[in-house]
Structure 1
């Protein structure tokens, strides 16, 4: 690693610590209710009996050398059996294998406590039922696991350190089974035949992976450097993740696919006051992959995301690409991102099926973004839009998505990009009160019923807006503050029912260029006829 890379990592750590401390300082004790377009939500922490035990009472030894797996799990079992309460991890370093949470247990890490998770693969056997990238499987246990439990929590100001490097290295070997599991999913191999429980047939475990649980709370703690995704509850209900710190990309290294918070097919989820630096997606809403997701058929819905900060990551707030059980009713507001690849990203693909619908993103700001500021992409795997394919159970739907009060200082690719499918265009998307700067402008393909209202944009290269193969596009009050030096026109190609009004664009000869088949186009006086160019058909 050269000195510039080292300096960059140090600066990230300094900024992250500062943001984290600032975020924690602002976390109110009370969880405020909130009214969303799809209903009012009033989240409550799970309640625990006023009883506590210390892991040292069960033989735990501090120092980071002695494995405390048995002592910690024994404390959890005994306290849960007697009605529940708080299992306390005191200050110090505590080595452990997988921890299994049981009903009515709050695992509380005091300030100065650090759980170090074992780097011995065998500690994570026997295999358990888990979920890997949206597919059901029997595999190595998550670092912290729970199955069909109620009222569980991890709280405090301590650290959970995954020490994940051995897991990362193992991914380079032939036994890494992600492609094999995808094939099992597509071929509908029964769950009982899906076993990945050795280094010859291997999948890295998620850090926190409860299944079919109710009333789950994560609050205050720090998660660092797991083997794979960090927070990945599946099929859970009433989930609160607040005031935590996630670091998977920093001085220790980069966790491959080290996503931050990934609820999968969960209902009633609150994600607030978190600080995340992952190198992968920060917050991602998922609901299963392809046939597995459609077979189980549990959507991820009623999601409230607010007051979060993200640094490194592929996306700040992401939906998909595993969304085959459906995603609906997502409300995200008052979040800030700096250095992520995208601010808001919706991704799906042919074969996923199901839907992403009823999503609102409001009052979100970002500084330097590495790729697109806002991206909706229905060709996530990069396939060609043509030929047009038959609409079937594997055809995804993206509709009713709303962006309001979004700010981004600079995106290194498009400021907005929408890529639909010719057989299933992105439908009903609105942008209101948007200020975005970037290298490239707005790019829309295969979309319908798209509304842009009061946008201020600037781009350095190419056209400020290019709209192709689309229908029913309304653009009102568009101010183009800067654009390419050659001042290219807005491009309309193979479009119908386009309305362009109140355009503020001090271009040269041309303001709008029309190509291909285009009909039902409406311009007001802000677009003079002599600045409209029509290519010969």
Structure 2
């Protein structure tokens, strides 16, 4: 007779985590999503031509556009109309109760004259920093919008450095001929000598005590602005417009509430350094729907501040809906991190398509960030030609190791320890990726309680779990080409695999590694398709893997 097995403390904790996940869903669920308040505007319309604006691509219309916005706001708000044409302008500052409306074939083209952009106090990766004034900005506003079918172009190429390897030979020759300077090795183009010196010298743009904005004048050209920055605003709408060619991040709502981004086209060149599409930072109640993104860095990205400053701000990005979006080029389709020190929670991602991104669902952080990322729900995500991982968690962002696996070090858990937990992903389809699932937590804080169900992943490698706890994968087709192993586990516990399908004649189904690996259950899975059902390496114990046949 086999001995009875009593539930361990770890198992009870796993059940508790699952119970908490189910309980949290009662606050928000797929049938009871967050509500996002919409702005409302008077119908009064002011045409920017009333103030002398000219659509010739030569006249600088900064004053005319800003005057129209100010006058509209003073009169109680309404619509500021940008008619068809090429409208050259410097920085535009939005005001409350104003809808800046761009008609089809209207383009706001921001000037390449960098003297038009003052050095201001801004934010860089979650920390206070000196930046050039954003082409479009607004602060402490309510009821504000940019709508229409026109184009907002940041003229970003004059601001950005670029590596030779990122361009074709003819593009590189054209870039060099346009001016600027080269790095000493001839492999990087900089827009100016000032930019080069700041970059090579690794000069900091962060604002620290005793340093004023004037102290940054010798590196002004290096302080690239984000295209649109809206700070501490309520009831914000961006709809229908194309935002493109940003010097750095494209759209950056910061500490906003009731934010809607609808039917936007966000476009940056593939080589655009920091060319993110949307960075939603410390915002509450937001909707991103029907948008198309093709960018040079992360596409739809969730942030909440960096390290100690982010934790002091203490504003999670929460109560968000991301749906019906398409992402082409980008480092990640939907991304959380790595600046997530204020946390993120109650985010619902569904019915999105990622075509050719580096990663699909991307979660990233590192020791020192802190913050809690939890209650993330994703379903009906369709991917094709993903360069790296379809589903990706990594708590070693930008950390380099001598080997592929992190060292088995376990520093004390503190306020700088990032926590990622309580998530559910359903109906995820990927046709082409290097790896289907990659989860790498920290030895002292595993990635915990991630439920994945109904997956169809055609990839080179199936799944790899490192320092993970309470991961459940159910009804998954892991049709990996490289079949040794289909699933790799290292120093992880309380894992559940139910109904796993994989390629016939696979070399190894499971590779179980590490003496901290325990409590792995596999059921409803056919084993005869694999030459070897399981291998045990690096101190892993065979008794920790329990198979239950169909």
TM-score (norm 1): 0.86
> In the alignment, is residue 476 of structure 1 matched against residue 495 of structure 2?
no
> In the alignment, is residue 440 of structure 1 matched against residue 461 of structure 2?
yes
CA distance in 2, matches of 1:367, 1:296: 38
Aligned residue for 1:12?
A: none
Q: Could you tell me whether the CA contact under 8 Å between 1:177 and 1:203 is conserved in 2?
A: no
Query: Structure 2 matches for 1:339-418, cutoff 5 A?
Result: 339-384=356-401, 385-386=406-407, 387-411=409-433, 413-418=434-439
Aligned residue for 2:447?
A: 426
Aligned residue for 1:222?
A: 242
Query: Structure 2 matches for 1:145-184, cutoff 5 A?
Result: 145-169=137-161, 170=190, 173-176=196-199, 180-181=203-204, 184=206
Q: Could you tell me whether the CA contact under 8 Å between 1:450 and 1:474 is conserved in 2?
A: yes
Query: Structure 2 matches for 1:57-68, cutoff 5 A?
Result: 57-68=50-61
Aligned residue for 1:240?
A: 260
Match of 2:458, SS state, is: strand
CA distance in 2, matches of 1:147, 1:190: 23
Change (3 A) 1:337 1:64: same
Match of 1:175, SS state, is: helix
> In the alignment, is residue 458 of structure 1 matched against residue 479 of structure 2?
yes
Q: CA deviation at 1:71?
A: 0.5
| Cα-to-partner distance string for 1:270-319 (whole Å, 9 max, x where unaligned) | 00000110031110000111122112111111111000001111110000
Aligned residue for 2:545?
A: 521
> In the alignment, is residue 112 of structure 1 matched against residue 105 of structure 2?
yes
Match of 1:49, SS state, is: coil
CA distance in 2, matches of 1:469, 1:262: 33
Q: CA deviation at 1:320?
A: 0.4
CA distance in 1, matches of 2:75, 2:273: 40
Query: Structure 2 matches for 1:108-147, cutoff 5 A?
Result: 108-125=101-118, 127-147=119-139
Change (3 A) 1:38 1:421: farther
CA distance in 1, matches of 2:505, 2:49: 64
CA distance in 2, matches of 1:175, 1:200: 6
Query: Structure 2 matches for 1:245-264, cutoff 5 A?
Result: 245-249=265-269, 254-264=271-281
Change (3 A) 1:258 1:191: farther
Q: CA deviation at 1:175?
A: 2.0
CA distance in 2, matches of 1:195, 1:300: 33
Q: Could you tell me whether the CA contact under 8 Å between 2:120 and 2:213 is conserved in 1?
A: no
Q: Could you tell me whether the CA contact under 8 Å between 2:34 and 2:320 is conserved in 1?
A: no
Q: CA deviation at 1:198?
A: 3.0
> In the alignment, is residue 41 of structure 1 matched against residue 62 of structure 2?
no
Match of 1:504, SS state, is: coil
CA distance in 1, matches of 2:329, 2:525: 35
Change (3 A) 1:280 1:465: same
Aligned residue for 2:513?
A: 493
Out of 67-76 and 285-294, give the one that drifted further. 285-294
Match of 1:281, SS state, is: coil
CA distance in 1, matches of 2:530, 2:321: 45
CA distance in 1, matches of 2:443, 2:213: 36
Unaligned runs of 5+ residues in structure 1 are 1-33, 527-537
Aligned residue for 1:82?
A: 75
CA distance in 2, matches of 1:162, 1:514: 55
Change (3 A) 1:297 1:378: same
CA distance in 2, matches of 1:366, 1:416: 13
CA distance in 1, matches of 2:361, 2:218: 36
Q: CA deviation at 1:457?
A: 0.9
| Cα-to-partner distance string for 1:484-512 (whole Å, 9 max, x where unaligned) | 5xx22311113111111111344354111
Q: CA deviation at 1:45?
A: 2.5
CA distance in 1, matches of 2:387, 2:61: 42
Aligned residue for 1:72?
A: 65
CA distance in 2, matches of 1:377, 1:194: 36
Q: CA deviation at 1:190?
A: 3.9
Q: CA deviation at 1:329?
A: 1.0
Aligned residue for 2:303?
A: 286
> In the alignment, is residue 332 of structure 1 matched against residue 325 of structure 2?
no
Task: Give the counterpart of 2:87 among 77, 81, 94.
Answer: 94
Q: Could you tell me whether the CA contact under 8 Å between 1:260 and 1:276 is conserved in 2?
A: yes
Change (3 A) 1:174 1:63: same
Out of 291-300 and 444-453, give the one that drifted further. 291-300
CA distance in 1, matches of 2:77, 2:415: 45
Q: Could you tell me whether the CA contact under 8 Å between 2:28 and 2:346 is conserved in 1?
A: no
CA distance in 1, matches of 2:526, 2:201: 50
Match of 1:233, SS state, is: strand
CA distance in 1, matches of 2:525, 2:476: 10
CA distance in 1, matches of 2:504, 2:341: 40
Query: Structure 2 matches for 1:207-218, cutoff 5 A?
Result: 207-218=227-238
Aligned residue for 1:23?
A: none
CA distance in 1, matches of 2:33, 2:530: 50
Match of 2:104, SS state, is: coil
| Cα-to-partner distance string for 1:310-361 (whole Å, 9 max, x where unaligned) | 1111110000011011111111000001100111100001111111111011
CA distance in 2, matches of 1:292, 1:476: 42
Unaligned runs of 5+ residues in structure 2 are 1-26, 162-189
Aligned residue for 2:164?
A: none
Question: What is the alpha-carbon root mean square deviation over aligned residues?
Answer: 2.1
Q: CA deviation at 1:256?
A: 1.6
| Cα-to-partner distance string for 1:81-107 (whole Å, 9 max, x where unaligned) | 111111000000000011000100100
